[in-house]
Amino acid sequence: MFKNYLLTAWRALVKQKLHSALNIIGLSVGIAASILMWLFAQDELSYDAFQPNVSNSYRIAQNYLEYDVGAEGIAVTPAKLRSVLENQFSDEVEAVTHLGGDSSNMRLYKDNEKLTGFSLMSATANIKQFFNIPTVFGADSDALTKPDQLLLSRSLALRIFGNENVVGQTLKLNNQLVLTIAGIFEDIPGNSHLNIDALYSMATQRQYSPALFSHLNSNSAFTYVQLKEGVSPNEIASKLGQLMTEGRNTKIEAFLQPLADIHLHSNFLAEMKTNGSYQTVQLALVLSVFILLVACFNFINMATARSSLRAKEVGVRKALGASRQQLIQQFLAEAVMIVSISTVFALVLVETLLPWLNGFTGKSIELIFSWSESISLLLMIFLVGLSAGAYPAIFISSFSTLRVLSGDFNRGKSSILFRKLLVCLQSGIAVVLIISTITVYQQINFLKNLELGYEREQVLVMPEIKNSELIRGFDTFENQLKNIPGVVSVTSGEQLPTMKFNFITSVNLPHNGETLDTVPMVGVNYHYLSTLGLELMTGRDFSRQYPGDYYQMNKASDSGSAGVIINESAMKMAGWKTPAEALGQQWNWDRGTTNNGTVVGVVKDLRFVSAHEPIQPISFILGYFLQGRDTLAIKYDSADHFLVKSQVDKLFGKVFAMPRVDSTLLTANFDELYVKEDKQTSLLLNFTGLIIIITCIGLFGLASFTAERRRKEVALRKILGASTSNLVLTLTSEFSKLVLIANILAWPIAYLSTSYWLEGFSVRIDVQWWLFLLASLLTLSISWLTVAGLSYKAASARPVSSLRCE
């Protein structure tokens, strides 16, 4: 019996080529898009799921409750925390491991050449208890118990030595300590929050930086714990928070982040690499469901619209003894068959589009048919086939045998209404997506084009260098830069705009006795304002003419002094009503020593990081370099960007002894701040386009059937005097009305969803009313154009040929 069903289904498919092709194309596109989004979501959700004991592994993170650190927390913790956990929490903690952060102080050298562009971390030997890092050659992480051992990833070994198996070869740490490569490990898979290319022992790091391990004040390590049975992570977090707060001038909150949650639920300061967004995963899944729904609606619509063509067959089968159940089975089998065929085409599409997806997401997703994936695919085929086929099967099987066989067949009002409802739903989804996509695009554009308070165009940003290197070579660099045509000025700072603040402190104001909490402070060099285009409201820029501007430490009084430039928000926060009032005032802070600053200038507010963050008060201190690392910025005005960049890179590499220089543009760094939103916009745009295409395919199919069904009516109308344009209007109006109704129903949904999304921004556009009209116009035009061509053809046919067929 089943063979008969499939045979009938196949032959019906071949017989109705246009309808079948439209069905299959629509379903293939919908299924392919869904699979791509599912692959993306699956990959995102799989991060670190493969680590051993993942359900009981946590990363310790923290937040300073009284400071705005520029993120929701800090991913790194004090290096000393590991020993604290081992000693003081031995009843609760099963195991602790630690990855020493990628520190600027530790660099590998080969043949006296500094190696850069990879992540070097210290680790304890028990790292394998937490992370699956398989050894390819040589020793595994047990080698990390010894101080002079090094483990490299496969790719790094290949890069440095041109060969993977380099066990026994040596590199130098800071060009001093010889480290022997004890083992090569498999590259860390892409779906992990870890970013590790080389590992050396924690004991070695302790030897180089003992201070890091002696107090709980500085954060340099990623600390992971596994808990004993029955221990609550929240309880440990609370105790740790209290411990870490002791002796600090802020309250610290600690959290235990489940390992598998880090990638999608953690965008803290100092993450090993940029994490994903759970919101984007949710968006991807919602879009995949939408597009599949739209494709299924198409199938349902076209199957029920063309049901009259199968009516005779149904009547005959019933007369010959088929029960309704058997007929439902038959048409469900047919639907599953069509979905299966569509899935084959969809998989081809997926394979073709995977390189695009991987490029878009920066991943290496592959289509692999493991047992579980194959079963999931089969389940999907059945689910989609049964869902899409259910209504047509129930509807078609309900035809009265008698009426069908006697030719008195009336499709019935309920099915026409249902089809209209589906067309409305499809069009409604398209309208909501069009409005949402344009709103998202506008909001992102708005954020990107907000007055930044600095100039981001034509500014080269050089790689970070050690402060000591900068002091040594800056003058030479600055002098020789003058020889490069197009270069206007150079400056440096611990942070440039688009970089997160590193130093946030309290400021004491003698003029009113108040203390300002959480004021970011940026150590800068001369020409910072002019190079980056910060606008002075009053006062002056830092200048060599005023030696007091540059931070100086007075050893006798054990205090520092410097000139300070503040922004407008800092000025207001300090209680000064006008910029002029702030000039010459004291701006003091403590950090081990008392520091006395004098306000020499006030600049207009600037958006230092993305517009997601509110504008913060900032103070710029000349020569106050805490981190030990600086970033140079070079302003140029030449149209030949590539020439300027190559010449500057070459000079930089020569002056600061860097074999490879990867400078960036400030505009590119700025765009990086919005990469998540750009991706979301792009995703929405692509999917909206696809949904519109699938909806058009469905409309086309319905329109062709309608034109055929109304052929006699059209012929009669023509004989009675209707013009071609009258007839086109008659045929298209059926669909235009549905799309119009869909628009009106979709507007409130679109308004609510876009308003809700916009509320997540501190600065935002208003929901634009004209967008709704535009979306309506767009959907009406697209649907009209889809249907009009067929309508015109039907309207142009000679009436007699239509009537003769009757």
Partner 1 sequence: MITLNNICKIFTTEDVETTALNNITLQIDTGEFVAIMGPSGCGKSTLLNTLGMLDSPTSGEYIFNDKDIAGFSEKALSEIRKHNLGFIFQSFNLIDELTVYENVELPLLYQKIDASERKVRVQAVLNRMNIGHRTSHLPQQLSGGQQQRVAVARALVIEPKLILADEPTGNLDSNNGEEVMNMLTELNQQGTTIIMVTHSEEHAAYANRSIRLFDGQVMVQQAIHVENLQKEA
CA-to-CA distance for 398 and 318, rounded, in angstroms?
Answer: 10
Q: How far is the CB of 330 from partner 1 (least distance, A)?
A: 11
Q: Using CB under 8 A, which of 21, 65, 211, 319 touches partner 1?
A: 319
Residue 419 binds partner 1, judged by CB under 8 A = no
CA-to-CA distance for 418 and 645, rounded, in angstroms?
Answer: 63
Measured from the CB atom, is 104 or 323 closer to partner 1? 323
Measured from the CB atom, is 395 or 589 closer to partner 1? 395
Q: Using CB under 8 A, which of 407, 513, 547, 659 touches partner 1?
A: 407
For residues 633 and 459, the answer to whether their CB atoms sit within 8 Å is: yes
CA-to-CA distance for 118 and 121, rounded, in angstroms?
Answer: 10
Q: How far is the CB of 310 from partner 1 (least distance, A)?
A: 9
CA-to-CA distance for 668 and 461, rounded, in angstroms?
Answer: 10
Measured from the CB atom, is 1 or 556 closer to partner 1? 1
CA-to-CA distance for 477 and 76, rounded, in angstroms?
Answer: 34
Q: Using CB under 8 A, which of 98, 128, 318, 629 touches partner 1?
A: 318
What token pair was written down for 456? 């981001």
Measured from the CB atom, is 134 or 321 closer to partner 1? 321
Residue 1 binds partner 1, judged by CB under 8 A = yes
Residue 406 binds partner 1, judged by CB under 8 A = yes
Measured from the CB atom, is 9 or 69 closer to partner 1? 9
CB count within 10 Å of CB 609 equals 19
Q: How big is the chain by its Cα radius of gyration, in Å?
A: 34
Measured from the CB atom, is 263 or 317 closer to partner 1? 317
Gap between the terminal Cα atoms of the chain: 36
Residue 317 binds partner 1, judged by CB under 8 A = yes
Residue 805 binds partner 1, judged by CB under 8 A = no
Measured from the CB atom, is 401 or 610 closer to partner 1? 401
Q: How far is the CB of 709 from partner 1 (least distance, A)?
A: 19
Phi, psi for 59 (deg, rounded to 5): -100, 140
> x/- binding map, residues 322-361, to partner 1, per CB under 8 A?
xx--x-----------------------------------
Q: Which stretch binds partner 1 (CB under 8 A): 8-16, 339-347, 558-566, 790-798?
A: 8-16
H or E element at residue 588: strand 586-591
Residue 320 binds partner 1, judged by CB under 8 A = yes
Question: Per CB under 8 A, which of residues 152..191 are in contact with partner 1?
Answer: none
Q: How far is the CB of 412 from partner 1 (least distance, A)?
A: 14
Which residue in this structure is represented by tokens 């009503």? Answer: 577
Residue 313 binds partner 1, judged by CB under 8 A = yes
DSSP, collapsed to helix, strand or coil, labels residue 224 as: strand
Q: Which stretch binds partner 1 (CB under 8 A): 1-9, 179-187, 244-252, 385-393?
A: 1-9
Q: Tell me the β-bridge partners of 202.
A: none
Residue 315 binds partner 1, judged by CB under 8 A = yes
Q: How far is the CB of 385 from partner 1 (least distance, A)?
A: 20
Question: Per CB under 8 A, which of residues 761..780 are in contact with partner 1?
Answer: none
Residue 15 binds partner 1, judged by CB under 8 A = yes
Written as one letter, the residue type at 19 is H
Residue 18 binds partner 1, judged by CB under 8 A = no
Residue 12 binds partner 1, judged by CB under 8 A = yes
For residues 78 and 206, the answer to whether their CB atoms sit within 8 Å is: no
Number of H helices, E strands in the chain: 24, 25
For residues 786 and 423, the answer to whether their CB atoms sit within 8 Å is: no
Q: Using CB under 8 A, which of 405, 685, 716, 740 touches partner 1?
A: 405
Q: Using CB under 8 A, which of 169, 238, 398, 401 touches partner 1?
A: 401
Count of chain residues binding partner 1 (CB under 8 A): 24
CA-to-CA distance for 331 and 350, rounded, in angstroms?
Answer: 28
Measured from the CB atom, is 216 or 404 closer to partner 1? 404
Give 515's DSSP letter.
E
Q: How far is the CB of 803 from partner 1 (least distance, A)?
A: 20
Q: Which stretch binds partner 1 (CB under 8 A): 309-317, 354-362, 419-427, 446-454?
A: 309-317
CA-to-CA distance for 236 and 15, rounded, in angstroms?
Answer: 69
Q: How far is the CB of 402 from partner 1 (least distance, A)?
A: 5
CB count within 10 Å of CB 565 equals 28
For residues 503 and 521, the answer to whether their CB atoms sit within 8 Å is: yes
Residue 410 binds partner 1, judged by CB under 8 A = no
Q: How far is the CB of 404 from partner 1 (least distance, A)?
A: 9
Residue 414 binds partner 1, judged by CB under 8 A = no
CA-to-CA distance for 643 and 639, rounded, in angstroms?
Answer: 9
C-alpha distances (whole Å) from 369 to each of 267, 285, 374 are: 33, 21, 6
Q: How far is the CB of 320 from partner 1 (least distance, A)?
A: 4
Contacts for 400-407: CB closer than 8 Å, 24+ residues apart? 400/315, 401/314, 401/315, 401/318, 401/319, 402/315, 403/315, 404/311, 404/312, 404/314, 404/315, 405/312, 405/315, 405/316, 405/319
Q: Which stretch binds partner 1 (CB under 8 A): 122-130, 313-321, 353-361, 377-385?
A: 313-321
Measured from the CB atom, is 313 or 469 closer to partner 1? 313
Q: Which stretch binds partner 1 (CB under 8 A): 44-52, 398-406, 560-568, 755-763?
A: 398-406
CB contact set of 643 (below 8 Å; sequence gap of 6+): 486
Q: Which stretch binds partner 1 (CB under 8 A): 2-10, 137-145, 452-460, 767-775?
A: 2-10
DSSP, collapsed to helix, strand or coil, labels residue 508 as: strand
CA-to-CA distance for 629 and 381, rounded, in angstroms?
Answer: 56
Q: How far is the CB of 413 from partner 1 (least distance, A)?
A: 12
CA-to-CA distance for 750 and 779, rounded, in angstroms?
Answer: 14
Q: How far is the CB of 702 from partner 1 (least distance, A)?
A: 23
For residues 413 and 675, the answer to whether their CB atoms sit within 8 Å is: no
Closest CA to 701 of 392, 331, 297: 297
Measured from the CB atom, is 329 or 530 closer to partner 1? 329
Q: Return residues touching partner 1 (CB under 8 A).
A: 1, 4, 7-8, 11-12, 15, 312-313, 315-323, 326, 401-402, 405-407
